[in-house]
Structure 1
Amino acid sequence: MPGMTDLITVRRAGTADLPEAAALFAGYLDFYQRPAPPERVLAFLRERQERGEAVLLLARAQDGTPAGFVNVYPTFSSLSMAPVWTLNDLFVAPTARRTGAGRALVRACAAEARAAGAVGVQLQTAPDNLAAQALYRAEGFEPDAFAAYYLSL
Protein backbone atom coordinates (compact mmCIF):
# COMPACT_ATOMS: atom_id res chain seq x y z
CA MET A 1 0.00 0.00 0.00
CA PRO A 2 1.81 3.16 -1.07
CA GLY A 3 1.89 6.27 1.06
CA MET A 4 2.05 9.67 -0.55
CA THR A 5 2.44 13.33 0.30
CA ASP A 6 2.40 16.16 -2.20
CA LEU A 7 6.12 15.80 -2.85
CA ILE A 8 6.96 12.23 -1.82
CA THR A 9 5.79 8.79 -2.92
CA VAL A 10 6.50 5.61 -0.98
CA ARG A 11 6.34 2.03 -2.18
CA ARG A 12 7.85 -1.35 -1.41
CA ALA A 13 11.35 -1.66 -2.77
CA GLY A 14 11.85 -4.30 -5.42
CA THR A 15 15.07 -5.99 -6.47
CA ALA A 16 15.82 -3.21 -8.96
CA ASP A 17 15.56 -0.62 -6.16
CA LEU A 18 18.10 -2.30 -3.89
CA PRO A 19 21.22 -0.42 -5.12
CA GLU A 20 19.55 2.94 -4.42
CA ALA A 21 18.18 1.67 -1.11
CA ALA A 22 21.66 0.40 -0.20
CA ALA A 23 23.14 3.86 -0.81
CA LEU A 24 20.56 5.34 1.58
CA PHE A 25 21.18 2.53 4.07
CA ALA A 26 24.90 3.33 3.98
CA GLY A 27 24.02 6.93 4.90
CA TYR A 28 21.94 5.60 7.78
CA LEU A 29 24.85 3.48 9.03
CA ASP A 30 27.18 6.48 8.75
CA PHE A 31 24.70 8.57 10.77
CA TYR A 32 24.98 6.02 13.58
CA GLN A 33 28.77 5.83 13.12
CA ARG A 34 28.59 2.23 11.92
CA PRO A 35 30.01 2.45 8.37
CA ALA A 36 30.06 -0.70 6.26
CA PRO A 37 31.38 -1.53 2.78
CA PRO A 38 28.78 -0.90 0.04
CA GLU A 39 28.81 -4.54 -1.11
CA ARG A 40 28.04 -5.70 2.44
CA VAL A 41 25.13 -3.27 2.74
CA LEU A 42 23.65 -4.41 -0.58
CA ALA A 43 24.10 -8.09 0.32
CA PHE A 44 22.39 -7.53 3.68
CA LEU A 45 19.34 -5.88 2.10
CA ARG A 46 19.16 -8.42 -0.72
CA GLU A 47 19.30 -11.33 1.74
CA ARG A 48 16.52 -9.87 3.93
CA GLN A 49 14.36 -9.43 0.83
CA GLU A 50 15.07 -12.86 -0.64
CA ARG A 51 14.29 -14.56 2.67
CA GLY A 52 11.12 -12.53 3.20
CA GLU A 53 12.47 -11.35 6.54
CA ALA A 54 11.89 -7.63 6.07
CA VAL A 55 9.68 -5.10 4.37
CA LEU A 56 11.73 -2.31 2.80
CA LEU A 57 9.84 0.82 1.79
CA LEU A 58 11.52 3.42 -0.39
CA ALA A 59 10.52 7.08 -0.57
CA ARG A 60 11.11 9.10 -3.73
CA ALA A 61 10.84 12.78 -4.52
CA GLN A 62 8.65 13.90 -7.42
CA ASP A 63 11.64 13.73 -9.76
CA GLY A 64 12.28 10.09 -8.78
CA THR A 65 15.29 10.81 -6.59
CA PRO A 66 15.51 8.41 -3.62
CA ALA A 67 14.57 10.38 -0.51
CA GLY A 68 14.62 7.81 2.28
CA PHE A 69 13.68 4.35 3.43
CA VAL A 70 12.11 2.42 6.24
CA ASN A 71 13.13 -1.16 7.03
CA VAL A 72 10.59 -3.17 9.01
CA TYR A 73 10.67 -6.66 10.48
CA PRO A 74 7.29 -8.41 10.79
CA THR A 75 7.18 -10.39 14.03
CA PHE A 76 4.75 -11.38 16.77
CA SER A 77 3.73 -10.11 20.18
CA SER A 78 3.20 -12.90 22.68
CA LEU A 79 1.24 -10.60 24.99
CA SER A 80 -1.10 -9.54 22.18
CA MET A 81 -1.00 -13.00 20.58
CA ALA A 82 -0.95 -11.20 17.25
CA PRO A 83 1.46 -9.94 14.58
CA VAL A 84 3.32 -6.69 15.15
CA TRP A 85 5.86 -4.93 12.98
CA THR A 86 9.18 -3.63 14.26
CA LEU A 87 10.17 -0.42 12.52
CA ASN A 88 13.88 -1.03 12.87
CA ASP A 89 15.42 1.55 10.54
CA LEU A 90 14.21 4.87 9.16
CA PHE A 91 16.44 7.29 7.28
CA VAL A 92 15.80 10.38 5.21
CA ALA A 93 18.57 11.69 2.97
CA PRO A 94 19.89 15.05 4.16
CA THR A 95 18.72 16.67 0.91
CA ALA A 96 15.17 15.37 1.47
CA ARG A 97 14.73 16.41 5.08
CA ARG A 98 11.82 18.73 5.90
CA THR A 99 9.96 17.55 2.77
CA GLY A 100 7.55 15.18 4.50
CA ALA A 101 9.55 12.09 3.54
CA GLY A 102 9.85 10.82 7.12
CA ARG A 103 6.14 11.32 7.74
CA ALA A 104 5.27 9.61 4.45
CA LEU A 105 7.48 6.64 5.35
CA VAL A 106 5.94 6.27 8.82
CA ARG A 107 2.41 6.48 7.41
CA ALA A 108 3.17 3.98 4.64
CA CYS A 109 4.68 1.60 7.19
CA ALA A 110 1.56 1.81 9.37
CA ALA A 111 -0.71 1.28 6.36
CA GLU A 112 1.27 -1.77 5.18
CA ALA A 113 1.31 -3.22 8.71
CA ARG A 114 -2.45 -2.72 9.09
CA ALA A 115 -3.09 -4.32 5.69
CA ALA A 116 -0.95 -7.31 6.73
CA GLY A 117 -3.02 -7.81 9.89
CA ALA A 118 -0.53 -6.41 12.40
CA VAL A 119 -2.00 -4.96 15.58
CA GLY A 120 0.79 -2.44 16.04
CA VAL A 121 4.13 -1.02 15.00
CA GLN A 122 6.92 -0.83 17.56
CA LEU A 123 10.20 1.07 17.38
CA GLN A 124 13.11 2.42 19.35
CA THR A 125 15.14 5.53 18.73
CA ALA A 126 18.13 7.17 20.33
CA PRO A 127 17.26 9.23 23.41
CA ASP A 128 18.83 12.32 21.82
CA ASN A 129 17.05 11.94 18.46
CA LEU A 130 14.42 14.52 19.35
CA ALA A 131 13.37 15.16 15.74
CA ALA A 132 12.46 11.49 15.27
CA GLN A 133 10.69 11.39 18.63
CA ALA A 134 8.60 14.42 17.67
CA LEU A 135 7.64 12.79 14.36
CA TYR A 136 6.67 9.51 16.02
CA ARG A 137 4.56 11.25 18.65
CA ALA A 138 2.86 13.37 15.98
CA GLU A 139 1.98 10.15 14.13
CA GLY A 140 0.38 8.60 17.23
CA PHE A 141 3.26 6.55 18.66
CA GLU A 142 3.42 6.48 22.45
CA PRO A 143 6.24 5.42 24.76
CA ASP A 144 5.62 1.94 26.12
CA ALA A 145 6.04 0.79 29.71
CA PHE A 146 8.92 -1.59 28.99
CA ALA A 147 12.62 -0.87 29.42
CA ALA A 148 14.80 -1.94 26.51
CA TYR A 149 17.86 -4.10 27.17
CA TYR A 150 20.43 -5.62 24.85
CA LEU A 151 22.97 -8.42 25.32
CA SER A 152 25.93 -8.22 22.96
CA LEU A 153 27.15 -11.69 21.92
Structure 2
Amino acid sequence: MTDPVAVRRASVADLDAVAPLFDAYRVFYALPSDPAAARAWLEQRMRTGTSTVLVAHRPDPDGPGGPALGFSQLYPSFCSLELAPIVVLYDLFVTPDARGAGVASALLEAAREFSEASGAARLELSTAHTNVTAQRLYEARGWRLEAEYRHYELPLR
Protein backbone atom coordinates (compact mmCIF):
# COMPACT_ATOMS: atom_id res chain seq x y z
CA MET A 1 0.00 0.00 0.00
CA THR A 2 1.24 3.48 -0.85
CA ASP A 3 0.96 6.55 1.33
CA PRO A 4 -1.73 9.04 0.32
CA VAL A 5 -0.78 11.81 -2.08
CA ALA A 6 -2.30 15.28 -2.08
CA VAL A 7 -2.26 17.52 -5.15
CA ARG A 8 -2.94 21.23 -5.15
CA ARG A 9 -2.47 24.18 -7.44
CA ALA A 10 0.96 25.70 -6.91
CA SER A 11 1.52 29.40 -6.41
CA VAL A 12 4.55 31.67 -6.59
CA ALA A 13 5.13 30.78 -2.92
CA ASP A 14 5.87 27.20 -4.08
CA LEU A 15 8.68 28.15 -6.47
CA ASP A 16 11.46 26.93 -4.15
CA ALA A 17 9.84 23.48 -4.06
CA VAL A 18 8.70 23.18 -7.69
CA ALA A 19 11.55 24.83 -9.64
CA PRO A 20 14.09 22.07 -8.84
CA LEU A 21 11.56 19.48 -10.04
CA PHE A 22 11.04 21.43 -13.27
CA ASP A 23 14.81 21.58 -13.79
CA ALA A 24 15.07 17.80 -13.15
CA TYR A 25 12.24 17.22 -15.65
CA ARG A 26 14.16 19.12 -18.31
CA VAL A 27 17.32 17.13 -17.52
CA PHE A 28 15.26 13.91 -17.90
CA TYR A 29 14.60 15.03 -21.47
CA ALA A 30 18.37 15.51 -22.08
CA LEU A 31 18.51 19.29 -21.66
CA PRO A 32 21.28 20.87 -19.57
CA SER A 33 20.45 21.75 -15.99
CA ASP A 34 19.67 25.45 -15.57
CA PRO A 35 17.99 26.02 -12.20
CA ALA A 36 17.80 29.80 -12.61
CA ALA A 37 16.12 29.57 -16.02
CA ALA A 38 13.73 26.86 -14.80
CA ARG A 39 12.70 29.02 -11.87
CA ALA A 40 12.30 32.13 -14.04
CA TRP A 41 10.14 30.22 -16.55
CA LEU A 42 7.83 28.88 -13.85
CA GLU A 43 7.62 32.21 -12.08
CA GLN A 44 6.65 33.99 -15.30
CA ARG A 45 3.97 31.39 -16.09
CA MET A 46 2.55 31.59 -12.56
CA ARG A 47 2.56 35.38 -12.33
CA THR A 48 0.91 35.83 -15.73
CA GLY A 49 -1.51 32.92 -15.35
CA THR A 50 -0.39 31.44 -18.68
CA SER A 51 -0.12 27.99 -17.13
CA THR A 52 -1.42 26.08 -14.17
CA VAL A 53 1.12 24.19 -12.08
CA LEU A 54 -0.02 21.35 -9.87
CA VAL A 55 2.21 20.07 -7.08
CA ALA A 56 1.99 16.69 -5.35
CA HIS A 57 3.04 16.09 -1.76
CA ARG A 58 2.19 13.97 1.25
CA PRO A 59 -0.81 15.41 3.11
CA ASP A 60 -0.09 17.41 6.22
CA PRO A 61 -3.12 18.35 8.37
CA ASP A 62 -1.14 21.22 9.91
CA GLY A 63 0.02 22.94 6.74
CA PRO A 64 0.35 22.99 2.97
CA GLY A 65 2.02 19.57 2.85
CA GLY A 66 5.37 17.89 3.01
CA PRO A 67 8.14 18.08 0.42
CA ALA A 68 7.14 18.21 -3.23
CA LEU A 69 7.05 14.74 -4.78
CA GLY A 70 6.14 15.77 -8.30
CA PHE A 71 4.47 18.40 -10.45
CA SER A 72 2.60 18.88 -13.68
CA GLN A 73 2.15 21.98 -15.80
CA LEU A 74 -0.99 22.59 -17.81
CA TYR A 75 -1.43 25.05 -20.66
CA PRO A 76 -4.78 26.29 -21.98
CA SER A 77 -5.39 25.88 -25.69
CA PHE A 78 -8.30 25.60 -28.12
CA CYS A 79 -9.74 23.19 -30.65
CA SER A 80 -11.30 25.05 -33.56
CA LEU A 81 -12.84 21.82 -34.92
CA GLU A 82 -14.72 21.23 -31.66
CA LEU A 83 -15.21 24.95 -31.02
CA ALA A 84 -14.02 24.34 -27.47
CA PRO A 85 -11.13 24.95 -25.12
CA ILE A 86 -8.70 22.12 -24.44
CA VAL A 87 -5.90 21.71 -21.90
CA VAL A 88 -2.40 20.50 -22.73
CA LEU A 89 -0.60 18.63 -19.99
CA TYR A 90 2.88 19.58 -21.11
CA ASP A 91 5.06 18.66 -18.15
CA LEU A 92 4.77 15.86 -15.60
CA PHE A 93 7.61 14.78 -13.33
CA VAL A 94 7.88 12.67 -10.18
CA THR A 95 11.00 12.53 -8.03
CA PRO A 96 12.85 9.23 -8.49
CA ASP A 97 12.31 8.19 -4.85
CA ALA A 98 8.52 8.73 -5.16
CA ARG A 99 8.02 6.81 -8.41
CA GLY A 100 5.66 3.87 -8.23
CA ALA A 101 3.86 5.36 -5.21
CA GLY A 102 0.83 6.80 -7.00
CA VAL A 103 2.17 10.33 -7.41
CA ALA A 104 1.88 10.43 -11.21
CA SER A 105 -1.63 8.94 -11.01
CA ALA A 106 -2.64 11.61 -8.49
CA LEU A 107 -1.26 14.36 -10.74
CA LEU A 108 -3.07 12.93 -13.77
CA GLU A 109 -6.34 12.77 -11.85
CA ALA A 110 -5.92 16.35 -10.58
CA ALA A 111 -5.19 17.50 -14.15
CA ARG A 112 -8.35 15.74 -15.35
CA GLU A 113 -10.43 17.35 -12.62
CA PHE A 114 -8.96 20.80 -13.29
CA SER A 115 -9.59 20.43 -17.04
CA GLU A 116 -13.18 19.29 -16.58
CA ALA A 117 -13.87 22.13 -14.13
CA SER A 118 -12.46 24.65 -16.63
CA GLY A 119 -14.88 23.42 -19.31
CA ALA A 120 -12.25 21.84 -21.54
CA ALA A 121 -13.37 19.37 -24.19
CA ARG A 122 -10.29 17.22 -23.63
CA LEU A 123 -6.89 16.94 -22.02
CA GLU A 124 -3.89 16.19 -24.25
CA LEU A 125 -0.31 15.17 -23.63
CA SER A 126 2.75 14.01 -25.53
CA THR A 127 5.63 11.91 -24.34
CA ALA A 128 8.82 10.55 -25.83
CA HIS A 129 8.47 7.41 -27.94
CA THR A 130 11.00 5.80 -25.60
CA ASN A 131 9.15 6.67 -22.37
CA VAL A 132 7.27 3.35 -22.24
CA THR A 133 6.83 3.49 -18.46
CA ALA A 134 4.80 6.69 -18.79
CA GLN A 135 2.92 5.30 -21.79
CA ARG A 136 1.82 2.26 -19.77
CA LEU A 137 0.57 4.52 -16.97
CA TYR A 138 -1.35 6.78 -19.33
CA GLU A 139 -3.01 3.86 -21.08
CA ALA A 140 -3.86 2.17 -17.77
CA ARG A 141 -5.62 5.40 -16.72
CA GLY A 142 -7.75 5.54 -19.85
CA TRP A 143 -5.65 7.75 -22.10
CA ARG A 144 -5.76 6.76 -25.77
CA LEU A 145 -3.00 7.03 -28.33
CA GLU A 146 -4.20 9.55 -30.90
CA ALA A 147 -4.16 7.75 -34.25
CA GLU A 148 -6.09 10.06 -36.57
CA TYR A 149 -3.67 12.98 -36.86
CA ARG A 150 0.07 13.00 -37.45
CA HIS A 151 1.93 15.51 -35.30
CA TYR A 152 4.49 17.76 -37.02
CA GLU A 153 6.57 20.62 -35.77
CA LEU A 154 8.71 23.26 -37.41
CA PRO A 155 11.79 24.24 -35.38
CA LEU A 156 12.23 28.01 -35.39
CA ARG A 157 15.56 28.18 -33.56
TM-score (norm 1): 0.93
Q: CA deviation at 1:18?
A: 1.2
Q: CA deviation at 1:57?
A: 0.2
Instruction: State how many pairs are aligned.
Output: 149
Structure 1 residues 60-98: Cα deviation after superposition (integer angstroms, max 9, x where no partner): 124612100000101111111101000001000001101
Q: Taking every aligned residue pair, what percent have the same amino acid on both sides? A: 42
Letter in 1 for 2:67: T
1:82 is matched with which residue? 84
Check whether the contact 2:7–2:106 (CA below 8 A) recurs between aligned residues: yes
Letter in 1 for 2:126: Q
Distance 2:88 2:3 in 1: 27
Structure 2: gaps (5+ residues): 61-65
SS of alignment partner, residue 114 of structure 1: helix
Q: CA deviation at 1:120?
A: 0.5
Structure 1 residue 110 and structure 2 residue 112: aligned?
yes
Q: CA deviation at 1:20?
A: 1.0
Distance 1:16 1:51 in 2: 14
Letter in 2 for 1:152: P
Structure 1 residue 149 and structure 2 residue 152: aligned?
yes
2:46 is matched with which residue? 49
TM-score (norm 2): 0.91
Distance 2:106 2:16 in 1: 21
Q: CA deviation at 1:7?
A: 1.8
SS of alignment partner, residue 149 of structure 2: coil
Q: CA RMSD in A?
A: 1.3
Structure 1 residues 27-53: Cα deviation after superposition (integer angstroms, max 9, x where no partner): 101111112421111110010111111
Letter in 1 for 2:35: P
2:126 equivalent among 119, 124, 127: 124
Structure with more relative contact order (C-alpha pairs < 8 Å, separation 6 or more): 1
Q: CA deviation at 1:138?
A: 1.4
Letter in 1 for 2:135: Q
Q: CA deviation at 1:21?
A: 0.6
Letter in 2 for 1:32: Y
Moved more, 132-141 or 96-105: 132-141
2:37 equivalent among 37, 40, 44: 40
